[in-house]
Amino acid sequence: MTTRQIVALGGGGFSDEGLPTKLDGFILSLSRNRRPRICFLPTASGDSETYPIKFYRAFTQMDCRPSDLALFRRTVADLRTFLLDQDVIYVGGGNTANMLAIWRVQGVDAILREAWQAGVVLAGSSAGAICWFEAAVTDSFGVPPTGLRDGLGLLPGSACPHYNSEERRRPVYQQLVGSGFPSGYAIDDHVALHFVDRKLAAVVRDVEDRFAYEVKLEGTAVEERPLTPRTLS
């Protein structure tokens, strides 16, 4: 049977310095190919010209075959064939709501679902992490962050990135969950959640003292259950 995999990073990865990280290596290790084809989608950044440069700078130092897909200045005619030919699809950070709207207009949302079902590893940081869930905490509409309920829904529940680095994330997420927002996961920077067939299979990090949490409503109180990650060596 085909294994469906998603890796959600709360922040970090190559995006920080344009250098390969242990989290990026972990993502590549999940591929079925020894030298995987990995495609970067910078849609959430408005196809920033500098973001793909960081991606190539990092992944050309790793044993893989990198490429990128721009949608604002689109040059790939057959998106379906291009994306289904990848082993890993890595989505960058930025404006989640705008990214989802563009994907839906271009038909990328349906292609990503098909790729996931075919065994392509889906991954991403920040916006590229929360987009896979049914709902998320986002700053797509400005600050403070707010709830978004129209994610792709490949993963159940909700997610909140940057839990340790942006002070407004925790109170907003807890208030949302306490008011009926779907329960889910809060993820610190430099921490990744690995889902296999829609279930959490592993929590990993490349920096010590970073964590993830399961956040849900228990009776009338919102509870945070720590998920201690395995530190990648």
The CA-atom distances, in angstroms, between 87 and each of 35, 60, 117, 163, 175 are 9, 16, 12, 29, 38
Q: Residues 45, 126, 140, 158: which is the catalytic one?
A: 126
> Given 125, 140, 158, 162, which residue is catalytic?
162
194 in catalytic set: no
Specify the long-range contacts of residues 190-193, CB closer than 8 Å, at least 24 apart.
Answer: 190/9, 190/10, 190/11, 190/12, 190/23, 191/9, 191/10, 191/12, 191/229, 192/7, 192/8, 192/9, 192/10, 192/23, 192/26, 192/27, 192/229, 193/7, 193/8, 193/129, 193/227
Q: Which residues are catalytic?
A: 126, 162
